[in-house]
Chains A and B, each alone.
Chain A
Amino acid sequence: MAEMMTLGKALNAGLRKALEDDPKVVIMGEDVGKLGGVFRITDGLQKDFGEDRVMDTPLAESGIVGTAVGLAIRGYRPVCEIQFDGFVFPAYNQIVTQVAKMHYRSLGRLRLPIVIRIPYGGGIGAVEHHSESPEAYFSHTPGLKVVTCSNPSDAYTMIQQAIRSDDPVVFFEPKRRYWEKGEVEFSDFPLHASRVVREGTDATVLAYGPMVKVATDAASAAAEDGRSLEVIDLRTLSPLDLGPVYASVRKTGRCVVVHEAPGNLGLGAEIAARVTEECFYSLEAPVLRVAGYDIPYPAARVEEEYLPDLDRVLDAVDRAFGW
């Protein structure tokens, strides 16, 4: 029976399950133990699994992620928590120079089953460093896998799959959706696969993480105007799984990509290029992007202006039709 829970609680349940299933799984991060994490995602885990499985670390992101490399080489499956998107950068060095390269450098002899969890995106009234969407930096780096969940059920499933993965996974959590509820059930849908979340015939809207809800809301609104939008949740940002996207765009002829991150060289740019290459003769309009602006994430007062919303998505769809 599927249970109703928030996305945050679903992650907590998924982490708990992973700790139960495999004694090599360890969680480490700032205040993840006694306090249960700033967003309470690891709440209660240290109490139940002990301080050797759920480790409070000093305030040292580079140390946390770098230590995970050593642990992983020795057969552990570390799950590192970064408190907020903007705080991953002290660890960026380790992620890009070590985590991403070790498997390749060792000719496949060393496996790096590390998960780096990062709450990301805006919508909670914070500012720069606390609301950013840095997924493109990581997706750009060969050797890393990058995924993001958009709903509680995926959160529960994907975190377990990421931990079971033999490759390092940067796991982006849509922090503004932590408190949203949904039915939760483990599914065997693969980790690195995109998914059609709403079928439609007139245009394809691609989104991931926090923007999936915006896209489906836009689709509902468009339906009232007699326009049928197909919404795809990308789920995996590296590698991208665009097979279902190509199939969809060949059907609809129009494609809009939505993300919070700045548009310049964001995931949307790569996706637009690939869709254009694969679906050129099916396209009725260029692939359009709805993205954050190319500015540092703004103050709480104006984040509604910054974040793509239903209107901006519908606008883009209109533009695709007006081409």
Chain B
Amino acid sequence: MTRTPTVAARTAGPGQRLTLLRRMLLIRRFEERCVELYSAARIRGFMHLYIGEEAVATGVMAALTPDDAVVSTYREHGHALARGVSADAVMAEMFGRVDGCSRGRGGSMHLFDAGARFYGGNAIVGGGLPIAVGLALADALTGRHAVTACFFGDGAVAEGEFHECLNLAALWRLPVLFCCENNQYAMGTALDRAQAVTDLAHRAGSYGMTARAVDGMDVEAVVQAARQAVRAVRGGHGPRFLELQTYRFRAHSMYDSDRYRDKAEIARWKLRDPIELLCARMRGDGQLEAADLAGLDAAVTADVDAAVAFAERSPAEPVTDLTRFVHSERRGTR
């Protein structure tokens, strides 16, 4: 943890708080189930979990409308769920089944749902940034007042694409909301071992856009910062940048032995568990009884159970279909 975030707030009313809590709980329980399913070899391939970072996706998505677009990373189960891609479609994708949001072809890292304007998980670090800029350029050219939210990690800041894209977006005043999920590590590399300037908001600011650091463990702070930023972006004031300071509670992926992080550091961050934080605040304001929480937990657990059952029922795409969609299937284009 480096510096004090510049935005911290309590904003939401009880109804919205409950919605935020439910979203975050759904993501948490979904991820926990994924761990079990992965251990049981029901889910295969690489898998990166969002546990600990739930407030970021939940908070940012709460500030978007269905007309806005989202571009994501390979740590994107939480992004997809918070965006409203159904848990069924996400889980079926994890299972590699045809009812998955990418037909079972993408798996954990390549969730995709054009209907939800969720333009994909992306296994290439930094790969999503130019796509987001392009989506925003299209919106600007056609006069749509939509925002494209682009998620990426602190690691992506080291890639050339990051710098090309921030410049492009600022130069052309494009409606992009850059959401840097600074979880302090890129795989085994701590931020200060990879960046000469670790204040990422400061760096983004140097490209000519308003950028701020936000406590990414405080979902209400995220909502407030995202709302503010989205309002400005939608209003035609060019891109905005949010550095969401957060932490992954688990290893980088299911293969990572997580030997590079200090146990005490992990424990310290866990004290700021985003779900616990919101619960404590709601309890303090008399908005959450133990029974409410148990009920909410039971409800999202039932959603996850249903998603697993859905995934299990779904068939696999026939192997012979794998040549489909390599090229356009529109008549006249072949």
| Residues of chain A whose beta carbon lies under 8 Å from any beta carbon of chain B | 30-31, 34-35, 38, 56, 58-63, 86-87, 89-90, 125-130, 293-296, 298-302, 305-306
Contacts and interface: CB of A to CB of B under 8 A. Distances in A.
Contacts of B316: 301-302
6 contacts: A86-B123, A127-B107, A130-B123, A293-B322, A293-B323, A300-B45
A300 B96 CA distance: 8
Nearest to A294: B326
A60 B158 contact: yes
Nearest to B319: A305
B159 A60 contact: yes
Contacts of B188: 31, 34-35
B43 to A, nearest CB: 9
B44 A125 contact: yes
A62 to B, nearest CB: 6
Contacts of A306: 322
B288 to A, nearest CB: 40
B159 A59 contact: yes
B96 A295 contact: no
Contacts of B104: 299, 301
Given A58-B158, A59-B155, A127 B326 contact: no
Given A30-B189, A130-B46, A299 B106 contact: yes
B299 to A, nearest CB: 31
Interface string B177-192: 0000000001111000
B96 to A, nearest CB: 4
Nearest to A60: B158
The list of the 9 closest CB pairs from A to B, nearest first, reads A58-B158, A35-B188, A300-B44, A58-B194, A301-B96, A129-B123, A59-B155, A59-B158, A31-B188
B9 to A, nearest CB: 32
Interface in B287-334: 316, 319, 322-323, 326
A128 B260 contact: no
A34 B260 contact: yes
Interface in B61-112: 96, 104-107, 109-110
B323 A127 contact: no
Given A90-B159, A128-B110, A301 B44 contact: yes
A130 B44 CA distance: 13
A90 B187 contact: no
A194 B77 CA distance: 46
Contacts of A296: 326
A298 B322 contact: yes
Contacts of A302: 316, 319, 322
B187 A127 contact: no
Interface of B: 44-46, 96, 104-107, 109-110, 123-126, 155-156, 158-161, 186-189, 193-195, 255, 259-260, 316, 319, 322-323, 326
B322 A60 contact: no
Given A127-B45, A301-B104, A58 B195 contact: yes
Contacts of A299: 45, 96, 104-107
B92 to A, nearest CB: 12
B123 A300 contact: no
A30 B323 contact: no
B261 to A, nearest CB: 11
B243 to A, nearest CB: 17
B323 to A, nearest CB: 6
B107 A90 contact: no
B320 to A, nearest CB: 10
A89 B126 CA distance: 12
Given A90-B126, A295-B322, A126 B158 contact: no
A87 B106 CA distance: 17
Nearest to B158: A58
A31 B187 contact: yes
B229 to A, nearest CB: 25
A128 B123 contact: yes
Contacts of A30: 186-187, 189
A127 B123 contact: yes
B124 A87 contact: yes
Contacts of B105: 298-299
A260 to B, nearest CB: 15
B125 A59 contact: yes
Contacts of A86: 123-124
A293 to B, nearest CB: 7
A59 B189 contact: yes
